[in-house]
Amino acid sequence: MSPLLTKDEWSALKQIWPLLKIRWQQLVWSVFLGSLALGSSVGLASVSAWLIARASQMPPILYLNLAVTSVRALGISKALFRYIERLVSHRIALTGVVELRTSFYARLASLRSDAVASMHRGALLSRATADVDAVGDLVVRSIQPMLVTLVVSVFTVFGLSFLHVGAALWLGLCLLFSILAGLRLSARSTRMSQQAQRKHEQELSKLTVDSLENSAEIRVLGQSARYAKSIGAVESGLITARKKAAQAAGLASAVDTLALGLALVGNSILGTMAVSAGELSQVGLAVIVLTPLASFEGTAMLGQAAAQLVRSAAAAEALVELIDAEQDLPEAQLPGPSQTTPSLVAQNLTVAWPQGPEVLNNVNLSVSPGSKIAIVGPSGIGKTTLLLTLAGMLPPREGTALIRGVSAWNLSRQDAASVVSLTLEDAHIFAASVYENLRVARADLDEDEARELLNKVHLENWFSALPIGLNTKLAAGGKTVSGGERRRILVARALASQAEVLLLDEPAEHLDNQVGRALVRDIFALADQGKSIVLVTHHTEALEYADQVLVIDQSPAGHAVITYQGAPADIPATLQADWSRLEQPADPTMTIVQE
């Protein structure tokens, strides 16, 4: 464990480091170039001190030629090596950030709903941006400066020992004091202010996302001033926290300045005594006194390096907390398709959101190739929660949900999604072209297939009016299309999937009856091609195309129950007489808090 980090911080960094995919050869090369740059600076100061002192003695000019040439060479090499080092180190850092962000998105996409459902989008955005960037800065702003300072300090002390051992040892002690004290003080002070700073940063991100996403509603309700005041208060707290962090950097800088002063005074005294004793020349005195001025150039960066180390470790903890949310779950292997094993089975299934009340229980369902199943019930009754559980995105409260005979919850998201495709009514439309939005379901989808899918969902007229066809860009969330068009784009994306089972949540919502019925008919027709369709709706017109119907309604006690399961033709007349109520929202007094 590092003396600068806690055990948890060190563990988090060790877990995150492989995701940066940094090769040690690259890091060594960066440290080597940085050491040459800083070493050139120290050498420049030493040779310049020798040249000035020796020139004051007015020797023949030929005695100074080598020193003059060395000063020029060291001055040029300092800038040259610094430039090359920046190219190399920033390439390492930027490549690491790309790799980490890619890995983070991949891990995030594989998480189940319960792992991220409780997180605000602003907090999630903060982790995907600020935290990833903070970890990416670890190499350039922390590790590399520390290693460069250590290497150059050792060689400086070693080189100075050829002139005067005592002065070299004293310089080494002062450098060691600056390194250890500066690092510890800066790390400790940064950690004390870091918690408040992260809290304010995440709160600012939440408020900013809320105000941007709901700007129209905020203006209509006259809450713009309140949001602006809240953002201002959070920003004030963030500024205060950052000032405290700046004080930590100032404290480390003060320690470094103190160590530099001690080195100068000490070497002046030791050098003067050595000159008086005839152990050191007057020119050598100038060298051992002026060399520390450049040797502390590296230690001046250590305060910021320690602060960055603590910030990167805190960011790593936040990332590990999210991407390891399901690490303890046993991951089952998905078997191949079988003629005897149904694609999807629910046995005595009870569904609920984590830490929430039971939504629906005793669900028994078998989905085989060619199945056409309609789940009907009022809005808010728990149909979406049932779909999420069947898709393996929520854990069953009781019973089992099986995909090819294996627990859906224990399968990886990639394996589960390869068999069961879930399209929720609020699924996201990306700020990308129509074509790219469809390719989310299948990367190898070609343009002809994309056009055919749009025709299947009755968007041919809409598509023909697009200015540049499939390359027309959609706004994030589908804000540039109507609710019905957005819903049909999502259905087209679902149809592009090669999954065996399609779980569709309210595909006919926001559509007129004629288009809605035609869309539902065409979706169920896919069962004739071997697909299995489970379609959730609170519109009863879907029933005539289904082979099996599952009706969910409220019990007299106010809980969701299955009131009928079977063929559409066998639905009791008493239930059919009550269809109009099933098409209305559920009673808000029900115990269900989240569909």
The share of the chain scoring above pLDDT 70, in percent, equals 90
pLDDT above 70: residue 117: no
305 and 361 inside one domain = no
Flag whether pLDDT at 591 surpasses 50. Answer: no
Q: Is the pLDDT of residue 411 over 50?
A: yes
Are 361 and 287 contained in the same domain? no
Confidence (pLDDT) at 581: 55
Structure tokens at 538: 């609170």
Q: Do 360 and 393 fall into the same domain?
A: yes
The three-class DSSP label of residue 272 is: helix
> From CA 198, how far away is CA 500, in angstroms rounded?
44
Lowest mean pLDDT among 116-120, 218-222, 348-352: 116-120
Cα 480 to the chain's mean position, in Å?
28
What letter represents residue 130's amino acid?
Answer: A
* Domain co-membership, 311 together with 371: no
Supply the DSSP symbol for 391. T
Question: Which of 86 and 303 is assigned the larger pLDDT?
Answer: 86
Domain shared by 181 and 82, yes or no: yes
What is the count of structural domains for the chain? 2
Q: Alpha-carbon distance 353 to 397, whole Å?
A: 8
How does residue 63 score in pLDDT terms, banded at 50, 70 and 90?
confident
> Contact 351/397 with Cβ under 8 angstroms?
yes
73: confidence class by pLDDT, cuts 50, 70, 90: very high
My answer on whether 49 and 140 are in the same domain is yes
Same domain, 237 and 360: no
What's residue 592's pLDDT?
A: 39
| Token pair in block for residue 518 | 């035609």
Tell whether 258 and 352 lie within a shared domain: no
Amino acid at the residue 260: L
Domain hosting 441: range is 344-582
Is there a contact between 33 and 85 (Cβ–Cβ < 8 Å)?
A: yes
- For the chain, give the number of residues: 595
pLDDT band, very low/low/confident/very high, at 325 (cuts 50, 70, 90): low
The lowest-confidence range among 159-173, 264-278, 499-513 is 499-513
Pairing of strands 560-566, 548-554: antiparallel
**What is the four-CA torsion angle of 79, 82, 84, 86, rounded to 10 degrees?**
-140
Average pLDDT, the chain: 84
Largest pairwise CA distance in the chain: 119
Segment 380-390, tens digit of pLDDT: 888 888 999 99
Query: What pLDDT is stored for residue 248 in this prediction?
Result: 66
User: At 269, is the pLDDT very low, low, confident or very high (cuts 50, 70, 90)?
Assistant: very high
pLDDT at residue 589, rounded to an integer: 45
Number of H helices, E strands in the chain: 21, 10
The rounded radius of gyration (Å) of the Cα atoms in the chain is: 34
Beta-carbon neighbour count of residue 189 at 10 Å?
23
Question: Greater confidence, 154 or 569?
Answer: 154
Split at pLDDT 50, 70, 90, the class of 1 is very low
| Residues 391 and 308 grouped into a single domain | no
pLDDT at res. 588: 46
Residues 479 and 372 in one domain: yes
Same domain assignment for residues 80 and 186: yes
Distances from the Cα of 375 to the Cαs of 132, 177, 290, 473, in angstroms?
A: 42, 72, 83, 34
Q: What is the mean pLDDT of residues 518-531?
A: 84
Q: pLDDT for 209-254, tens place per residue?
A: 778 777 777 888 888 888 888 888 888 888 887 777 677 667 778 8
- Give 124-177 pLDDT, tens digit per residue: 777 778 888 889 899 889 999 999 999 999 999 999 999 899 999 999 999 999
Is residue 453 situated within a structural domain?
yes
Identify the CATH number of the domain in which residue 491 sits. 3.40.50.300
Please say whether the dihedral angle defined by the alpha carbons of residues 542, 537, 588 and 479, taken in this order, is positive or negative.
negative
Kind plus residue range of the DSSP H or E element containing 423: strand 420-423
- 587, 554 contact by CB (below 8 A): yes
Angle of CA points 294, 298, 299, to nearest 5°: 105
Residue found under tokens 């990306």: 430
User: What secondary structure letter does DSSP report for 338?
Assistant: -
Whether residue 69 is found in the same domain as residue 100? yes
Task: Compute the average pLDDT of residues 472-496.
Answer: 85
Choose one of 294, 323, 352: the last residue of a domain.
Answer: 323
Residue 486 has what pLDDT?
A: 87
